[in-house]
């Protein structure tokens, strides 16, 4: 009888261990597939961004250069003041377009200015579209440039999604040190979204890929009709 009981216990234990191993394997495979999907989506996102920039260069800067060339080739000696005004205006717009394209490719001045000042510039640039409130822990210390670029891009992507989809007019950004992590809390007052439905969207995948790149963790806390919120923890 004792042998039967021991055999039963051993069998039950073996079954339990096998189930745990299978669950771990399934979880590991799911994580690998998720990372592969994020990588593919990130590559697609990069290609889409390159296409957008190429179109901008061709349609915007190319056209402005053509117009400028025409004006230079048809200067009227008797009306130089007006011609100079138009040419100056075109050059100013060219400079602005070039700066915007450069900024979209890489935040060039972030390394020099630091994340805090760069985010304050973002607040100013978006002021005509959003009331963007920025709250940064006074104890914030600069991180390595890669991490700060990812943080900036996460916030930039979040605000872009808000402008495109949420119909919100207010966004709040909190950055603070908390229990060995740099914590970001991004929220808006828009109509929000169902994460399960929207999780395949490029905007959310871009955000999550950047969070993964700095070994961060995130959690969405949305309330339909009352805004979206994401909490991000990045280890020091």
For each of the chain's 236 residues, which pLDDT tens digit applies?
A: 656 666 666 676 677 677 777 777 777 777 777 776 766 666 666 666 666 676 666 667 777 777 777 767 766 666 666 666 777 777 777 777 776 676 666 777 787 888 888 888 888 888 888 888 999 988 888 888 889 989 998 998 899 888 888 788 889 999 998 788 899 999 998 887 777 776 666 678 888 888 988 889 999 888 787 888 999 999 87
CA dihedral sign of residues 12, 15, 19, 21: positive
CA-to-CA distance for 43 and 202, rounded, in angstroms? 11
What is the model's pTM?
A: 0.64
Residue 87 CB coordination number (10 Å):
16
What would the two tokens of residue 32 be? 């690998």
Task: Write out 164-177 in H/E/C secondary structure.
Answer: HHHCCCEEEEEEEE
The backbone torsions φ and ψ at residue 190, rounded to the nearest 5 degrees and listed phi first, read: -85, -165
SS (H, E, C) 109-134: CHHHHCHHHHHHHHHHHCCCCCEEEE
* Cα(4)–Cα(44) distance, integer angstroms: 59
Residue found under tokens 């261990």: 17
82-92 pLDDT, tens digit each: 666 777 777 77
């Amino acid at each position: 009888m004792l042998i039967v009981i021991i055999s039963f216990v051993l069998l039950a234990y073996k079954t339990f261990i096998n189930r745990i191993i299978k669950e771990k394997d399934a979880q590991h495979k799911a994580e690998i597939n998720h990372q592969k999907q994020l990588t593919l989506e990130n590559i697609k996102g990069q290609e889409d961004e390159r296409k957008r920039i190429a179109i901008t260069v061709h349609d915007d800067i190319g056209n402005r250069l053509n117009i400028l060339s025409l004006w230079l080739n048809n200067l009227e000696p008797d009306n130089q003041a007006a011609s100079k005004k138009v040419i100056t205006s075109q050059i100013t717009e060219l400079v602005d377009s070039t700066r915007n394209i450069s900024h979209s490719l890489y935040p060039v001045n972030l390394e020099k200015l630091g994340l805090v000042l760069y985010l304050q510039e973002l607040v100013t640039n978006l002021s005509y579209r959003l009331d963007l409130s920025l709250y940064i822990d006074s104890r914030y210390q600069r991180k390595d440039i890669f991490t700060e670029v990812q943080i900036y891009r996460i916030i930039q992507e979040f605000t872009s999604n808000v402008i495109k989809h949420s119909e919100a007019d207010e966004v709040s950004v909190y950055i603070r040190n908390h229990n060995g992590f740099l914590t970001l809390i991004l929220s808006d007052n828009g109509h929000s979204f169902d994460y399960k439905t929207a999780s395949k969207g490029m905007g959310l995948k871009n955000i999550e890929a950047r969070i993964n790149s700095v070994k961060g963790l995130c959690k969405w806390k949305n309330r339909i009709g009352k805004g979206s919120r994401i909490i991000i923890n990045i280890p020091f």
